[in-house]
Structure 1
Amino acid sequence: MNDNNALDFELLNGYLDNLGKEMLRKMFALYTQQAPKYIQAISQSLIEDSSEQWQESCHKMKGAASSTGFLLVREKLIAMEKSNGSATVKREQIELLKEINKRTELAFSQWLESC
């Protein structure tokens, strides 16, 4: 993963200019609090073998990632939302999502502290 492409810097710099660093901290805190819940919902949809719930859960997290400027997370969720793969493939997608999300959260945190 190229962490330089993980974030939408144009969006984030706009937020920084218009909302300030403290509001970005709050947005990030909210995202990091909600992300595990989104991932759990995606995982639960796999357990319940519900394609509709899978798509809805991926879509919800995709929106949160988009509004937080998490480009790679958003891209992964776009692919997952459309996925018709087996349970094994979907489990692998969830694990990769977790890794991408973790690294993107780190990149965001480092960017914010450098501002």
Structure 2
Amino acid sequence: MACRAASLERENMKLRAELEQLKNETGHLRALMLAPVKIFVGIAHRGRLNLLTEMMQFPVVQMFRKMRGKPEFPDDVHGSGDVLSHFTSSFDHQTPEGTVHVSMLPNPSHLEAVNPVTMGKARARAR
């Protein structure tokens, strides 16, 4: 029983550290959005849905529709998407200094290929 309790405590500490890291990342993104620039976000699965709904103004209704097993597309469109963590979004954020365009790139499952793609897109836009 003591081993099980110690294991659960370690898992709780690990989860708490990961959640605190996500809070820091969200804070950094909010700070970046104060300058008039384009921001490209590349994020894997953990924290992606939270960032989409909290920061990137992704419609929560659409997110829950997909969670219930319904397609994310309107009823008159015949098709299906993939998993929740493949959702992506972009929006324009207004600041006193100008407009900041923020876009999240799609991340293929378990390939973790979004990071180099995001860097490549940012570099291409900078040229």
Note whether the superposition's TM-score is higher than 0.5.
Answer: no
State the TM bucket, normalised to the shorter chain.
Answer: 0.3 to 0.5
TM-score of the aligned structures, taking structure 2 as reference length: 0.33
Higher strand proportion, which one? 2
Determine which structure has greater relative contact order: mean sequence separation of CA pairs < 8 Å that are 6+ residues apart, divided by chain length. Answer: 1
TM-score of the aligned structures, taking structure 1 as reference length: 0.36
Higher helix proportion, which one? 1
**Structure whose alpha-carbon radius of gyration is higher:** 2
